[in-house]
Amino acid sequence: MAGKITPSMMCAPLNQIQHYIDVFEEKKIEYLHIDVMDGHFVPNMMLGTSYISSLRRLTSIPLDIHLMITDPEAKLDWFDIQPGEYVSVHYESTPHVQRALQGIKNKGAKTMVALNPGTPIEVLKYLLPDIDGVLLMTVNPGFAGQKLIPQGLDKIRDTKAYLAEHGYGHVEIEVDGNVSWENIPKMAEAGTDLYVAGTSSLFTDKMSLEESVAKFRSLI
């Protein structure tokens, strides 16, 4: 099955948002990745609730909301989550991760648990019945433009095997962080389903956006 592309909208220059959206719609980009950072769980602040509602007025591409915030279970109502969208909550961000996943499911959205680079995949064990996907961070969350933590590639492979061994082979794997031209083939080979496209690929001015999307598709 071909992978899906989810461009990281925090990387889109403000004065070109409309252009990016036009091309993403024309090229049938599957999701838009929205990084929400609270300056507490991660050392940065990004993409707030009014940005999300403005973006929803510009496009009907479904969102893939990556919550890097503490206690997300108490804040889900802030994001106007729509059925069929992806919402990720970090395992490390709350003692009530199962409650957060349940809250996402109640909104009809797809439940994703996100893991920081240093978090072992075994923590997924008792969450498996509650998740549609796992978001693996291949950099420490908070900033675009970082270098891949190399063991992240083994972690994708191990997660794929772990899910299959436990009878959850249908659970999707999303990869976020330095998804670059060089790393995409390795991430694909390791078992990635959803690719977060940031400054390492689509958001570069080295080629046109149309060409970048075509190159991305050819690599996955």
Residues that bind Zn ion (CB under 5 A): 35, 66, 176
The site map against ligand DX5 for 53-92 (x = CB under 6 A) is -------------x--------------------------
Q: Which does 200 bind (CB under 5 to 8 A by kind): Zn ion, ligand DX5, none?
A: ligand DX5
Residue 173, phi then psi, degrees to nearest 5: -115, 120
- Nearer to Zn ion among residue 85 and residue 176 (C-beta): 176
Catalytic residue among 77, 176, 193, 205: 176
Q: Which of 35, 38, 85, 172 binds ligand DX5 (CB under 6 A)?
A: 35
Told to check if 97 binds ligand DX5 by CB under 6 A, we report no
Buried b or exposed e, range 111-130, using 16+ CB within 10 angstroms: bbbbbbbebebeebeebeeb
How many residues in the shown chain lie near ligand DX5 by CB under 6 A? 19
Told to check if 178 binds ligand DX5 by CB under 6 A, we report yes
- Measuring CA to CA, which residue among 180, 212, 217 is closest to residue 23? 212
Told to judge if 132 belongs to the known catalytic residues of this protein, a careful annotator would answer no
Q: Which does 110 bind (CB under 5 to 8 A by kind): Zn ion, ligand DX5, none?
A: none
Q: Which does 32 bind (CB under 5 to 8 A by kind): Zn ion, ligand DX5, none?
A: none
Torsion of CA 81, 125, 97, 197, to 10 degrees: -50
Residue 194, phi then psi, degrees to nearest 5: -125, 130
Q: Tokens in use for 158?
A: 């191990």
Radius of gyration from C-alpha coordinates of the chain: 16
Half-sphere exposure of 114 (CA within 13 A, CB side): 31
Cα distances (angstroms) measured from residue 207 to each of 16, 90, 135, 213, 217: 15, 34, 28, 10, 15
Told to judge if 35 belongs to the known catalytic residues of this protein, a careful annotator would answer yes
- Nearer to ligand DX5 among residue 103 and residue 141 (C-beta): 141
Told to check if 152 binds ligand DX5 by CB under 6 A, we report no
Residues forming the site for ligand DX5 (CB under 6 A): 8, 10-11, 33, 35, 66, 139, 141, 144-146, 176-179, 196, 198-200
Q: Which residues are catalytic?
A: 35, 176
